[in-house]
A = this chain, B = another copy of it.
Amino acid sequence: MESQQVSFRVAKDDLAHAVTWVARSLPNRVTQPVLRAIVITADDNGLEFAGFDYEVSTKVRISAEVIEPGRIAVAGKLIAEITNTLPNKPVEISLDGSKVELRCGSSRFELPQIPLDDYPQLPTLPEVTGSIDPQLFTRATTQVASAAGKDDTLPMLTGVNMEITGRRLRLVATDRFRLAVRNLEWKPVSESITAKLLIPAKTLLENARSVDPHLTDPVELAVGTGDEVGADGLFGVHAENRETTTRLLDAEFPNIQPLLPKVHNAIATVEIAPLQEAIRRVSLVTERNSQIRMRFTAEELTLSAGGSDAGHAEETLPCAFRGRDEMVIAFNPAYLKDGLSVIDTDRVVFGFVESSRPAILLPEPEELPEQTEDGTYATPDTDFLYLLMPVRLPG
């Protein structure tokens, strides 16, 4: 039974932020037209806007002057578009028969009401499992999600694997060509909590990106507590006035531990900004997804790309290289750029086993490891690691 009278007045900017955010996670093409809806609930506490497509649910609360409480639904992307073009004046929304009327200044819109009879039950946020610094959540998610797969035929690789062990969180993603690992701390509600969750990378990244960069309150992550961890098959995020839930991927994430090299035969450090510039330039003569070659010597890194037919490019950069006289290795330039773009220090550390084996990229630690007696280097202890498969060198 829906109320037949709904009426409220709300500040234009508050309305615009709320509907824009909910509309963004609504699907572009829907199998059920009702899923195009934003459901607006007006009650004594203000307004709640909600959207759901059976995978992702979003909910945001804002304050408003509610004249008649009730519940209505309208096409989400349309009301978001309309609201964003309105002048900065109070917006009045009310139900008028089967139409939703929106007034603002000299503008008046009549939008068809979407019947709520077929609208699915919105999932509720699982019990809050712990909280995390908002900027850290955004940054760590962005770092790892860059390595996740986009191929839906390999669903386990389209997720970010989150491993919770008390105060430690570990995020991992891989598309088989590169792998990103981020270790970080958070505040669990119980120190004894352990969980493994495979969260769709795309949604997690959207969650992280929609966190207000100036937010100071911690972000709450919710997968349940005690025996209820993961019981709903949902991952929930609560940041400020916003809540989202995402259905977990029902797949086994591969065991990545054996893939990580424990020791390196050579290590190099290079300043990231000029390296990115150089990669960008030499990539111009590569064919799509083709390789760029890196030749490390004691103090110089030479990048090269292209062949003799299509053009050839070469760049030299200073570097610090130890462990071998030289190392020649080739990478997919896009994957290399992805890795460099999520390392936060000024310089990157490369660790090499040999040209045909995966290399690691790390943020520069306080101290580089010393060469051990057998001539190798241990992996420096950093909170982020990007493993990158090389491509075969020509000839």
Residues from 293 to 323 in A contacting B, C-beta threshold 8 Å:
306, 308-317
A80 and B281 CA atoms in complex are apart in Å by 12
Residues from 90 to 118 in A contacting B, C-beta threshold 8 Å:
106-112
Chain B nearest CB, measured from A207 CB (Å): 28
**Which one, A81-89, A148-156, A337-345, is touching chain B?**
A81-89
Residue of B nearest to A75 (CB): B311
DSSP class of A's interface residues: helix, strand, loop or mixed? mixed
Oligomeric state, in copies: 2
Are the CB atoms of A85 and B311 closer together than 8 Å? no
Neighbouring B residues of A309 by C-beta, 8 Å = 112
- Contact status of A311 and B107, CB under 8 A, knowing A81-B284, A281-B82: no
Judge if A334 is at the interface, Cβ distance under 8 Å.
no
- Contact status of A277 and B87, CB under 8 A, knowing A78-B284, A82-B284: yes
- Contact status of A110 and B311, CB under 8 A, knowing A82-B281, A284-B81, A284-B82: yes
Are the CB atoms of B85 and A285 closer together than 8 Å? no
Are the CB atoms of A312 and B110 closer together than 8 Å? yes
Neighbouring B residues of A75 by C-beta, 8 Å = 311
Judge if A278 is at the interface, Cβ distance under 8 Å.
yes
A309 and B78 CA atoms in complex are apart in Å by 14
Neighbouring B residues of A108 by C-beta, 8 Å = 313-315
Give A39-75 as 1s and 0s: 1 = Cβ < 8 Å from B's Cβ atoms: 0000000000000000000000000000000000001
Mark A residues whose CB is within 8 Å of B: 75, 78, 81-82, 85-87, 106-112, 277-278, 280-281, 284-285, 306, 308-317
